[in-house]
Structure 1
Amino acid sequence: MRVTKGVEILELEAEGFGGRAVLHPTLIWDDKEAILIDTGMPGQYEKIISAMSGLGMSLDKLKAVILTHQDIDHIGSVPEIIQATKGRIQVFAHELDKPYIEGEIPLIKTNPRSMAKILESLPEDQYRKTLALCENPPKAKIDDTLSDGQEIPYCGGIKVLFTPGHTPGHISLYLKNSKTLVAADAMICVEGNLRGPVEQTTLDMDTALRSLEKFLEYDVEFVVCYHGGLCNMNAKGQIQDIIRKITNVIETD
């Protein structure tokens, strides 16, 4: 799904944890390089490469992967990408999620203990697969950690926005050339309409809601949500409406 020149939303159908979903990594590129933001579930490497090929782009052009946070549906295929590129790409993430992605600490949401209730509800074949994934999640070495306000010098400039709450080290990204906000899981999109963070999958809802205010600092024409895809209808206005509603609820309480 084309956002604007040099920005493409990938659509990866995924199955896991007893359900199905469509995930939306973002590929950005210019004449010199390509950058992938998030990598889907484990085993989706071929789909990512196929999508790049469909855009006339070889894997050789990929220079970096930016992981917005530690969740398994975002880091899933990065080990395969690293292996296929013989480790020549840079992998970025925020410092607070780095130890989880590197495997020093179990993933917060996807480990046998945190997934116990879901595991109990699964049929036997799905139980075995999911348990194996929880016990041996994807891991990747983070080459560079990112901080709030940092600008990554690829494709005209990628601004890092530290938006914790969904996870401790969750980040969103602002693509300067196209005025595109890659919100990751800070928001979701439903039929082009923005919604705030999903409470069931957000570790610290209060912090996640406060993080949204950071988006108001930027001239946003397009928003890409990992769950729901593209919002291109009055994106800045929709963000303002979400924050206004949140503020009213807080003041009422």
Structure 2
Amino acid sequence: MKIADGIEMLEIPAHLMAGPGIINPVLFWDKDEVVLVDAGFPHQVQQFRDAFAKAGVPFDRLSRVIVTHADADHVGGLAGILHDSPQKITIFAHEKERPYIEAELPPIRLAQMEAQLKILPEERRQQVAVLYESLKANYKKLGANVDETVEDGEQLPYCGGIKVVYTPGHTPGHICLYHQRSKTLVAGDAFNVEGGVLVHAPEFTCLDKEQYDKSLKKLAMYDIETVLCYHGGLYRDHPNRSIAELAGIN
């Protein structure tokens, strides 16, 4: 889906913990650079190629990937994309996500998934168990080197400028990205969109509620016309007001 000139929200089918769904990586591009935000699950390279083609952007031009955080649905596809690319791709992430992306540490979500297995109904337990066992067995094979770490407020000089907004809570090193020219916020998993409404990310995915709440207050300070959520996609219905409400700002 075209968001603005040089900005595309990709729509990639995926099997999520809640069942079949769509993930929404984001593509920025201009004559010099092609920048992908988040990389999906393993074995989705062809789906990414198809989504690039639909956007009119050659996959082989991809030069940079910015990772919002190290959950498997955001980084599982990195190794495959790097392997498939004919050119060097530079990977960016926050320092606190680096050891998980590089598979030096096991994924944060493993412990959460293990806890869920004890309380889910039988049918859902079986589905989550498959994901859990696969992630536990294969995460080291999916590691990818982080070439450059980013900090809060850093302005990445690509595609008109992409500002890093450090938003911990969902994970220790979660970041959002703000494209000032189009007033677009790439929210990662800071929010979801459900039924056309901007909502908090599910509570069980939040590692630190206090940090998460502070991060929402930080995002409420930005002038935003478009929010792109990895789960739920596009939101444009008075986003500043909606974010302020979610942040508890009157």
Check whether TM > 0.5: yes
Contact 2:113 2:132 in 1 (8 A): no
Aligned to 1:29: 29
The superposition leaves residues 147-177 of structure 1 with CA deviations (integer Å, 9 ceiling, x where unpaired) of 0000111100000000000000000000122
TM-score if structure 2 supplies the norm length? 0.90
Aligned to 1:140: 144
Aligned to 1:131: 133
* 1:50–1:241 Cα change, 3 Å: same
Q: Report the alpha carbon displacement of residue 105 of structure 1 after superposing the two structures with TM.
A: 0.6
Contact 1:17 1:118 in 2 (8 A): no
Output the amino acid matched with 1:98.
Answer: R
The superposition leaves residues 174-218 of structure 1 with CA deviations (integer Å, 9 ceiling, x where unpaired) of 012211001111111123321123211111112111101112332
Q: What is the DSSP-based 3-state SS (H/G/I as helix, E as strand, rest coil) of the residue aligned with 1:160? A: strand
Q: What is the DSSP-based 3-state SS (H/G/I as helix, E as strand, rest coil) of the residue aligned with 2:96? A: coil
Q: Report the alpha carbon displacement of residue 119 of structure 1 after superposing the two structures with TM.
A: 5.2
Please give the alpha-carbon distance, in whole angstroms, between the structure 1 residues aligned to 2:18 and 2:240. 35
Which of 178, 182, 188 in structure 1 is aligned with 2:182? 178
Which of 152, 156, 159 in structure 1 is aligned with 2:156? 152
Q: Report the alpha carbon displacement of residue 86 of structure 1 after superposing the two structures with TM.
A: 4.8
Q: Report the alpha carbon displacement of residue 241 of structure 1 after superposing the two structures with TM.
A: 2.2
* 1:124–1:166 Cα change, 3 Å: closer
Please give the alpha-carbon distance, in whole angstroms, between the structure 2 residues aligned to 1:197 and 1:114. 15
The answer as to 2:167 corresponding to 1:169 is no
* 1:125–1:239 Cα change, 3 Å: closer
Q: What is the DSSP-based 3-state SS (H/G/I as helix, E as strand, rest coil) of the residue aligned with 2:40? A: coil
Please give the alpha-carbon distance, in whole angstroms, between the structure 2 residues aligned to 1:108 and 1:123. 19
Please give the alpha-carbon distance, in whole angstroms, between the structure 2 residues aligned to 1:114 and 1:25. 24
Identity of aligned residues (%): 41
Aligned to 2:228: 224
* 1:86–1:99 Cα change, 3 Å: farther
Please give the alpha-carbon distance, in whole angstroms, between the structure 1 residues aligned to 2:193 and 2:130. 32
Please give the alpha-carbon distance, in whole angstroms, between the structure 2 residues aligned to 1:129 and 1:176. 37
* 1:217–1:17 Cα change, 3 Å: closer
* 1:193–1:59 Cα change, 3 Å: same
Please give the alpha-carbon distance, in whole angstroms, between the structure 1 residues aligned to 2:74 and 2:198. 20
Please give the alpha-carbon distance, in whole angstroms, between the structure 1 residues aligned to 2:79 and 2:117. 25
Output the amino acid matched with 2:231.
Answer: H
Aligned to 1:4: 4
Q: What is the DSSP-based 3-state SS (H/G/I as helix, E as strand, rest coil) of the residue aligned with 1:115? A: helix
Aligned to 1:115: 113
Contact 2:68 2:174 in 1 (8 A): yes
Q: Report the alpha carbon displacement of residue 90 of structure 1 after superposing the two structures with TM.
A: 0.3
Counterparts of 1:1-253 in structure 2, within 5 Å, are 1-17=1-17, 19-86=19-86, 88-109=88-109, 111=110, 113-118=111-116, 121=122, 127=129, 130-137=132-139, 138-243=142-247, 246-247=248-249
Please give the alpha-carbon distance, in whole angstroms, between the structure 1 residues aligned to 2:167 and 2:126. 37
Q: What is the DSSP-based 3-state SS (H/G/I as helix, E as strand, rest coil) of the residue aligned with 2:69? A: coil
The superposition leaves residues 23-70 of structure 1 with CA deviations (integer Å, 9 ceiling, x where unpaired) of 110111112221100011111111111110122221222110000001
Contact 1:16 1:130 in 2 (8 A): no
Please give the alpha-carbon distance, in whole angstroms, between the structure 2 residues aligned to 1:129 and 1:158. 33
TM-score if structure 1 supplies the norm length? 0.89
Q: Report the alpha carbon displacement of residue 127 of structure 1 after superposing the two structures with TM.
A: 4.2
Aligned to 1:251: none
Q: What is the DSSP-based 3-state SS (H/G/I as helix, E as strand, rest coil) of the residue aligned with 2:220? A: helix
The superposition leaves residues 218-242 of structure 1 with CA deviations (integer Å, 9 ceiling, x where unpaired) of 2211000111100112111211222
Contact 2:2 2:55 in 1 (8 A): no
Unmatched 5+ stretches in structure 1: 249-253
